[in-house]
């Protein structure tokens, strides 16, 4: 859909080893940009995921970025502001190729109303976490996170097995689409409610979902049958979560695990209120935006009331990072925060060691490259149970989307070990070409979100956004190839700031230096952030790995 000179064509990431740019670092970032659009939910609007998360400000910006990357020298840096290329700076050969700041507004002004207004004027975009930073790799980007959450619940609450257990969730969009596959990987029967039938079809098409129905009775029959046989199944039910969840409560059906991954963070462009078609939502957005938001808020409140009812009946209920509790509370559900947030409930001990969603992309498009890296990991990280378990499962279950990619929850030192080994494999021609390393912004030192990532931190530092800013500056000083600072848009406005980083393994010695410095420092500051908040796991990591922390007298 890259309209240029009258031509309309679907954007797909380039494959193979032929370069369009002056070096692999520029080519890599260009392919990463194309790849987020190839994998995106609505390419025509440049929307990648999370309702409004965009890859570039508009098509003019997209083409200007492509032209610039194509002609950019090794010692130049492209500067991007909210998805629009601003200028080219003469820097030096070890500086980032691209730096970007997306959707940052100062405190008092960082409201959803101001965001929508600025977006309307074409001045700003919501970049999601990985959309505008060109790091999105399809639903795979969150699948290990979702899997780790379900498997932690499995061991914490269900004696190590989810056979015969029922997971209820909603939302089969860019990220939520990972849920059915993760549910099957943990051995459960998972029901996913999705209002937009085309999203259900898309998940079936990419191999993340098994069955589809428009009938709740049929969905429940499939779930019940799988539970009786203690088999896994994933079912996509076309319906509205704010209707289906209360209906299940009404029928006295209590799932074992309940969550939600609709775009509840955004009442204008994300959550679909009960009783409205997509068309009606679109027209109401233009004509009665306030009414649309209050209808969405009221529906969310209904859904969260049902989630609380499930919790009272003994289900394990959690917020999966879409601000649904915050919205529900604003629309009258006083006890919405009785529902746990997934980060604090299940993942914080990992983040305290800076173990988080690391990822790599085979830039030539050859899936064999990812399989060779899988083999390396299974052999050389054999004592790392989280990673080896995941890589074996991913190999079996997770289909590739766009450029072949893999996610793996690695920590400090481990990311560097893997990246340097991969760089050597590129150098020696074991792999067909370069590999880009990146991570989700939802990573130890990289994200402040007091209702998601940093809720109830031990020292109360939930809202301090110095950490992602330091993280981004450090990544620039550490010679990363792309560094991004994002803040929330839509309903996330004023709620979050995050930092993103990408580094290219092109087989050169310069890449060795970049990868080692940037990856060690990226996780190093993550460990220090959690140590600063008082987490024991971080002190242990500091001792074991020799991270240099400064103790200061007289300050906590
Ligand atoms: P998306 O916009 O691509 O998909 C959201 C889906 O929800 C859409 O398919 C939409 O049709 C559906 N939906 C909306 N209202 C509904 C309703 N009432 N009933 C049923 N379905 C409904 O968004 P996404 O990328 O999948 O992200 C979903 C949410 O998860 C966002 O809020 C995002 O910010 C959050 N998120 C969390 C994490 C995490 O780490 N936990 C990671 C990424 C995204």
14-40 pLDDT, tens digit per residue, is 999 999 999 999 999 999 999 999 999
Ligand 1 neighbourhood includes 521 CB (under 6 angstroms)? no
pLDDT tens-digit series, residues 317-355: 999 999 999 999 999 999 999 999 999 989 999 999 999
* Reported confidence tier of residue 7, pLDDT bands at 50, 70, 90: very low
CA of 321 to the centre of ligand 1 (A): 9
Element holding 436 (H helix, E strand): strand 435-439
Q: Ligand 1: does its nearest atom lie under 6 Å from the Cβ of 196? A: yes
- Mean pLDDT to the nearest integer, 507-530: 98
d(CA 337, CA 503): 38
> 3 falls in which pLDDT band (50, 70, 90)?
low
Quote the pLDDT of residue 1. 57
Report whether residue 271 contacts ligand 1, using a CB cutoff of 6 Å.
yes
* Buried-exposed string 370-380: b where 16+ CB fall within 10 A, e elsewhere: bebbbebbeee
Distance CA 66, CA 481 (A): 16
Residue-wise pLDDT for 436-479, tens only, equals 999 999 999 999 999 999 999 999 999 999 999 999 999 999 99
Q: What is the mean pLDDT of residues 242-267?
A: 98
Q: What is the pLDDT of residue 554?
A: 86
Judge whether 197 lies within some domain.
yes
Residue 328 is assigned to a ligand binding site: no
The pLDDT tens digits for 158-187 are 999 999 999 999 999 999 999 999 999 999
Q: Going by CA atoms, what residue is nearest to atom 27 of ligand 1?
A: 50
- By CB atoms closer than 10 A (0-12, 13-18, 19+), residue 277 is exposed
- 272 in ligand 1 pocket by Cβ < 6 Å? yes
> Which atom of ligand 1 sits closest to the CA of residue 272?
15
- For residue 280, being part of any structural domain is answered with yes
Q: How far apart are CA 326 and CA 172, in angstroms?
A: 21
pLDDT score, position 140: 87
Among residues 264, 268, 271, the alpha carbon closest in space to that of 290 is found at: 268
Residue 148 beta carbon below 6 angstroms from any ligand 1 atom: no
Pair 190, 180: CB distance under 8 Å: yes
Rounded mean pLDDT of 403-423?
98
Q: Which residues pair with 17 in a beta bridge?
A: none
The atom of ligand 1 lying closest to the CA of 145 is: 40
pLDDT at position 338, please? 97
> Measured from the CB, is residue 51 less than 6 Å from ligand 1?
yes
CA of 261 to the centre of ligand 1 (A): 5
Q: What are phi and psi of 513, to 5 degrees?
A: -65, -45
* 243 CB near ligand 1 (under 6 Å): no
For residue 299, which atom of ligand 1 is closest to its CA? 18
Q: Is the CB of 322 under 6 A from ligand 1?
A: yes
Instruction: Please choose from 49, 176, 214 the residue to mutate so as to test ligand 1's pocket, defined by most ligand atoms within 8 A of CB.
Output: 176
- Read off the pLDDT of residues 31-78 as tens digits, 9 standing for 90 and up: 999 999 999 999 999 999 999 999 999 999 999 999 999 999 999 999
Q: Is residue 306 part of a domain?
A: yes
Q: Is 171 in the pocket of ligand 1 (CB under 6 A)?
A: yes
Which pLDDT value is given to residue 555?
84
175 inside domain: yes
- In angstroms, how far is the first alpha carbon of the chain from the final one? 53
Please tell me if the CB atom of residue 174 comes closer than 6 angstroms to any atom of ligand 1.
yes
pLDDT at 8: 57
Write the CATH number for 155. Answer: 3.40.50.10730
Note whether residue 192 is domain-resident.
yes
Phi, psi for 324 (deg, rounded to 5): -65, -35
| 444 part of a folded domain | no
Residue 106: both structure tokens together = 């100062």
Mutate to test the pocket of ligand 1, among 51, 214, 347 (most ligand atoms within 8 A of CB): 51
Distance 3 CA to ligand 1 centre (A): 28
Q: How many CA atoms lie within 13 A of 178 on its CB side?
A: 24
- Beta strand 166-170 pairing with 447-448: unpaired
- Atom index in ligand 1 nearest the CA of residue 266 equals 32
pLDDT of 6 above 50 = no
Residue nearest to atom 35 of ligand 1 (CA): 322
Residue 81 covered by a domain:
no
Question: Does 445 belong to an annotated binding site?
Answer: no
Ligand 1 centre and the CA of 269: distance in Å? 11
- Residue 94 burial by Cβ neighbours in a 10 Å radius (0-12, 13-18, 19+): middle
Examine residue 91 and state whether it is found in any structural domain, yes or no: no
* pLDDT score of 9 more than 90: no
The answer to whether the annotation marks 101 as part of a ligand binding site is no
Average pLDDT, rounded, for the chain: 96
How do the residues of the chain divide into helix, strand and coil, expressed in percent and rounded to 5? Answer: 45, 15, 40
CB 484 within 8 A of CB 500: yes
pLDDT at residue 207, rounded to an integer: 94
271 labeled binding residue: yes
Q: How far apart are CA 46 and CA 328, in angstroms?
A: 29
Atom of ligand 1 nearest to the CA of 129: 43
Residue 240 assigned ligand-binding role: yes
| pLDDT one-digit tens code per residue, 365-412 | 999 999 999 999 999 999 999 999 999 999 999 999 999 999 999 999
**Is the shortest distance between the CB of 173 and ligand 1 below 6 Å?**
yes
Between the CA of 68 and the centroid of ligand 1 the distance, in Å, is 33
pLDDT higher than threshold 70 for residue 88:
yes
Q: How many domains does the chain have?
A: 1
What is the residue range of 245's domain?
140-347
């Amino acid at each position: 859909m890259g309209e240029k000179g009258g031509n309309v064509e679907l954007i797909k990431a380039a494959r193979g080893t032929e370069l369009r740019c002056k070096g692999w670092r520029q080519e890599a970032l260009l392919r990463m940009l194309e790849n987020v659009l190839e994998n995106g939910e609505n390419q025509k609007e440049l929307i990648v995921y999370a309702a409004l998360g965009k890859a570039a400000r508009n098509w003019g910006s997209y083409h200007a970025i492509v032209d610039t990357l194509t002609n950019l020298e090794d010692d130049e840096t492209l500067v991007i502001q909210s998805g629009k290329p601003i200028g080219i700076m003469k820097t030096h050969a070890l500086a980032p190729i691209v730096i970007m700041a997306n959707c940052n507004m100062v405190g008092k002004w960082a409201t959803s109303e101001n965001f929508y207004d600025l977006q309307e004027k074409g001045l700003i975009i919501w970049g999601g976490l990985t959309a505008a930073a060109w790091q999105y790799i399809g639903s795979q980007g969150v699948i290990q996170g979702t899997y780790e959450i379900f498997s932690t619940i499995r061991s914490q609450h269900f004696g190590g097995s989810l056979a015969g257990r029922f997971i209820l969730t909603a939302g089969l969009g860019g990220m939520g689409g990972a849920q059915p596959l993760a549910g099957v990987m943990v051995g459960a029967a998972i029901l996913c409610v999705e209002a937009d039938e085309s999203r259900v079809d898309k998940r079936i098409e990419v191999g993340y979902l098994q069955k589809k129905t428009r009938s709740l009775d049929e969905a429940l029959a499939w779930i019940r049958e799988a539970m009786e046989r203690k088999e896994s199944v994933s079912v996509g039910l076309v319906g509205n979560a704010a209707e289906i969840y209360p209906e299940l409560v009404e029928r006295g059906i209590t799932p074992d695990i309940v969550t939600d991954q609709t775009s509840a963070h955004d009442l204008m462009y994300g959550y679909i209120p009960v009783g409205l078609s997509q068309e009606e939502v679109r027209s109401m957005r233009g004509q009665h935006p306030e009414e649309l938001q209050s209808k969405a808020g009221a529906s969310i409140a209904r859904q969260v009331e049902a989630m609380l009812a499930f919790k009272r009946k003994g289900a394990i209920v959690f917020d999966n990072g879409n601000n649904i509790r915050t919205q529900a509370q604003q629309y009258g559900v006083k006890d919405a925060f009785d529902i746990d947030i997934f980060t604090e409930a299940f993942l914080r001990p990992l983040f305290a060691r800076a173990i988080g969603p690391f990822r790599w992309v085979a830039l030539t498009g050859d899936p064999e490259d990812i399989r060779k890296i899988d083999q390396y990991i299974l052999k050389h990280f054999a004592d790392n149970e989280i990673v080896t378990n995941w890589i074996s499962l991913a190999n079996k279950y997770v289909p590739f989307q766009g450029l072949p990619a893999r996610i793996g929850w690695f920590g400090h030192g481990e990311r560097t070990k893997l990246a340097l080994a991969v760089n050597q494999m590129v150098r020696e021609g074991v792999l067909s070409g370069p590999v880009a390393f990146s991570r989700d912004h939802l990573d130890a030192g990289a994200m402040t979100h007091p209702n998601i990532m940093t809720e109830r931190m031990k020292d109360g530092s939930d809202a301090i956004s110095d950490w992602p800013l330091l993280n981004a500056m450090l990544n620039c000083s550490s010679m990363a190839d792309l560094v991004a600072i994002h803040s929330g848009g839509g309903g996330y406005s004023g709620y979050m700031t995050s930092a993103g980083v990408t580094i290219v393994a092109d087989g050169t010695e310069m890449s060795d230096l970049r990868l080692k410095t940037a990856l060690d420092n990226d996780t190093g500051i993550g460990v220090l952030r959690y140590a600063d908040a008082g987490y024991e796991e971080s002190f242990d990591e500091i001792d074991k790995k020799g991270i240099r922390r400064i103790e200061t007298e007289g300050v906590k």
